[in-house]
Amino acid sequence: MKVLVTNPIADAGLERLRVAGHDVETAYDATDDSLYDAVIDADALIVRSGTEVTADVIESARDLVIVGRAGIGTDNIDIDAATDRGVIVANAPEGNVRAAAEHTVAMTFATARSIPQAHARLRAGEWAKGDFLGTELNGKVLGVVGLGRVGQEVARRLGNLGMDIVAYDPYIAESRADRLGAELVDLDECIPRADVLTVHTPLTPETEDLIGEPELDRMEGGHLVNCARGGVVDEAALAEAVDDGTLEGAAVDVFANEPVSPDNPLLDVENVVITPHLAASTEAAQEHVATSIADQVLAAIEGRPVANALNAPSIDEAAFPRVRPYIDIAETAGRISVQLFDERVAEVEVTYAGEIADEDVDLVTASALKGVFRPLEWQVNAVNAPRIADERGIEVSEIKRRQAEDFQSLVTVAVRSDDGAEMSVCGTLFAGEDPRIVRVDGFRVDAIPGGRMMVTRNADAPGVIGLIGTVMGEHDINIAGMYNAREAHGGEAMTVYNVDQAVPEEARAELEADERIISTRYITLNDE
């Protein structure tokens, strides 16, 4: 079979494909029409960040089985189009973890000791020994924002060098952080405590500009290191914070726009160490990435499971029609539960009751995890969600029961914290495939999930629903649906609203100022 490689990868990966008997064709200069021509008869396509795998490219490749990304980021691949065509998309996320961690450590020392600046001055003929007073890392506090694979490796390395570790990550268990010697804290506490703050989060709508001017102002005298993703740190704010002395220095390997523009403010600040996205650029990392993606291409071609597939659910073909409607229900319940939960998620429990309990529900459970982790990583799906849970030390459990109360089948997703706090959401199907949320945190409701929603908890008292409607109207928010439940007459009530517009903080604050309103929470099932 033909394997087309459009960006250079290590020879070890190419050789592995050739030894397996496949025709490996390289087309490193292929763009536009030449790419369409080259991919027409390809069974597999291997790319890095330099090739845009658009819907048109996928449509041109009539025999394509898999697109393999030799690296982690898949922004350049139209995964939805690939899924529509039944094409597997896989990446190689583990291959460059060590390299990225080591580069982060190197950048930490570089900014703490002003190594590049001193080097440049000496090369220019200046013996500027008295101009550089470095920072010793031993005994200092390292703040890690994002304690995933790379963040954990950085914490291990710098922790072994005598740094105390505090970390912010709402999707990692206390037990996993404890094993790393890291103290889990909120972001508002992590930032001011850190002498060095290192960022290891993906770029998502939730993390874009996560570290901006207000956060940098609270890091007075510290250092910031970003070798993760451009756009997580506000570059203009960082440049100003270093330039005016709020920060001692910074080290940056990634930028919002790459290649970096000559007018990027970070280029003009002396105490900012910059490198051109080199974190994964080691010989070992490139070889690991190449062989990993080659192995996955071989698995896809041979019809075996693909370890890092991003869009390839696996279930018995005969059972899939019975399970398919509950996949969306489980994901929706997961997304709602985590948005209503105020604690760090340590456990996810998925309960199946009724007829669904007799089915193979691994894919449904994975979809529930996908919903829970959706705010964490934009590319999370039913294939990689269980892996994410394992990496972050989150316990996942399934419970099956024959009885489903008043329903033919019922799926419940519960998220729990280490201290036992819990939020659960139950979903089912009405009239075949009509999804409903039928219970939220123990309150019996009959809500149609979708779009934007607001959930209120309030006293069961006259005038409360009218107040909510009035405030929403004053803020030009149209209520499309309302589903009310209560514990008992005169007790606590819950109402789920479907709304056509986002509910601003001002409207929620106005509602919560009324003593009858216990809490409000705006949630969305859209990717906004």
**Active-site residue (options: 229, 335, 344, 452):** 229
**Active-site residue (options: 277, 387, 444, 516):** 277
Q: Read off φ and ψ for residue 360, nearest 5 degrees.
A: -75, 110
* pLDDT given at position 200: 94
pTM of the complete model beyond 0.85: no
Residue 15 CB neighbours (<10 A): 14
* pLDDT given at position 306: 80
- Give whole-number Cα distances, 227 to 107, 109, 434, in Å: 8, 13, 45
- What strand order describes the sheet that includes 182-184? 182-184, 164-168, 141-145, 196-199, 223-226, 249-252, 272-274
Residuewise pLDDT in 10s, the chain (528 residues): 999 999 999 999 999 999 999 999 999 988 878 899 999 999 999 999 889 999 999 999 989 999 999 988 787 899 888 887 878 899 998 888 899 999 999 999 999 999 999 999 999 999 999 899 999 999 999 999 999 889 999 999 999 999 999 999 998 988 889 999 999 999 999 999 999 999 999 888 889 999 999 999 999 999 999 999 899 999 999 999 999 999 999 999 999 998 999 999 999 999 999 999 999 888 898 999 999 999 999 988 987 768 788 886 555 657 778 888 898 999 999 999 999 998 999 999 999 999 999 998 888 998 899 999 987 655 576 667 887 888 889 999 999 998 877 888 999 999 999 998 999 999 999 876 789 999 999 999 989 998 999 999 999 999 999 999 999 999 999 999 999 998 778 889 999 999 999 999 999 999 999 999 999 999 998 765
Tell me if residue 229 is catalytic: yes
Tell me if residue 433 is catalytic: no
Q: How far apart are CA 181 and CA 203, in angstroms?
A: 26
**Which domains, from first to last, does the chain contain?**
2-94+284-301 (3.40.50.720), 97-274 (3.40.50.720), 320-524 (3.30.1330.90)
Q: Token match 């280029």: residue?
A: 267
Q: Token match 């029609």: residue?
A: 321
Tell me if residue 103 is catalytic: no
**Active-site residue (options: 126, 206, 258, 506):** 258
